[in-house]
Amino acid sequence: MKRAITINKNEADRIFVVGGTGKIGSSLVHELVKYSGAHQPTITIYSRSPEIVNEQLSLIAGDDGIDKKTKNITIIQGDLEDLTPFEESIVGHTRLFLLVADVPEQREKLITLSEKAYAAGVKQIVDIEAKRISWRSYSLIDPHLEAEKAIYALPIRKYAYYVTLRPTNFMSNIFFLCLDTIKNDSVLVDAADPDEDQEWISPFDIALVAANILLDPMEKHGNAAYDLVGDIKTPLQRAASLSTALGRTITYKQLPVTEYYAYLIRNAKMDHKEAFFFATYREVSKVTRRTALLLGRAPESFEEWAFKNKNKLV
């Protein structure tokens, strides 16, 4: 019989964040710091670049008097090659936010981090992986699928929780896929048909879902896995949204898949597995009510995201 996990409700959680300097991680930290409940969590951020974390925290500190709450944040300098700082600092934490992507031996690093966290007494891991597709369909996605299965099955996990978030294509992918063509030529490029549905999710929404789970009682989500799809837009619709947000006409240009693949390798500096994925991926799910429920509001649309980021696109 499964034993209940008990946490002292009169004590604040201690949340450890791995992957806190990217768009999702920094937004997550902001959401956690904004929390105004009875028990403000203490936060530890594990980063190889503390100076970047401090820059991000200085921006957060000016938001609505949050500066006092940023004093509850500790920064641990460390990387994923030598996990000694992680092992020493994870002790005493109750929850772990885990975001590891696009690194050598990604699967092994995710599993090792999880094993060490559970061994140190962590009771909940919230892990950002990838939307489920058929295994071995794309070598870029396989480490996510394999790591999720392995972490879920870890014997050391015993009665602790493992929550997986499975986001689809990030709206922010546009920054490395075709930022130059949008800025310089007012053109959105892709290999998809102009009217082909594509699924998207805002990184802000991923961060908010993760924050909500980390602030909820652990037993509420248990060992859940949540697919996150925020908006369905065709390339033509995305071009129209960008036109509205930027105040100038953005047109869509469909490239032959071989040409787009070569473009990604040349301009985005991708390797084969990355370029193959972004040139050919075509999985579409519906936007379901689950994303809105996890967010506590409607998901951010592509147009809303574009308005928020228009200064980076002009």
The residues with which 14 forms a beta bridge, in sequence order, are: 42
Residue 28 lies in a domain: yes
pTM for the whole thing? 0.92
The CATH number given to whatever domain includes residue 93 is 3.40.50.720
Predicted local confidence at residue 300, as pLDDT: 97
Asked whether residue 186 falls in the same domain as residue 78, the answer is no
Residue 275 lies in a domain: yes
Please name the helix (run of DSSP H) or strand (run of DSSP E) that holds residue 75, with its range, or none. Answer: strand 73-77
Residue 92 lies in a domain: yes
Mean pLDDT of 107-115: 97
Please say which residue of 167, 187, 216 terminates a domain.
167
Q: Give the closest residue to 75 by CA, choosing from 65, 87, 85, 63.
A: 85
pLDDT at 5 over 50: no
pLDDT at 7 over 60: no
Predicted local confidence at residue 283, as pLDDT: 84
Q: Chain-wide mean pLDDT for the chain? A: 91
Predicted local confidence at residue 8, as pLDDT: 43
Residue 223 lies in a domain: no
Beta strands in 117-220 (DSSP E): 124-128, 161-167, 187-190, 198-200
Mean pLDDT of 172-197: 96
Residue 118 lies in a domain: yes
Burial class (CB in 10 A: 0-12, 13-18, 19+), 135: exposed
**Domain enclosing residue 255, as ranges:** 169-201+230-284+297-309
Confidence of residue 68 (pLDDT cuts 50, 70, 90): low
Asked whether residue 139 falls in the same domain as residue 184, the answer is no
Between helix 50-61 and helix 23-34 the angle, nearest 10°, is 40
Please say which residue of 142, 167, 192 terminates a domain.
167
Residue 221 lies in a domain: no
User: How many independent structural domains does the chain possess?
Assistant: 2
Asked whether residue 56 falls in the same domain as residue 25, the answer is yes
The phi and psi torsions of 232 (rounded to 5 degrees) equal -115, 120
Predicted local confidence at residue 1, as pLDDT: 35
Tell me: the pLDDT tens digits for 45-61?
Answer: 999 999 999 888 887 76
**Rounded CA separation 24/97 (Å):** 11
The CATH number given to whatever domain includes residue 189 is 3.90.25.10
Mean pLDDT of 186-215: 97
Please say which residue of 125, 146, 167 terminates a domain.
167
pLDDT at 145 over 80: yes
Predicted local confidence at residue 63, as pLDDT: 58
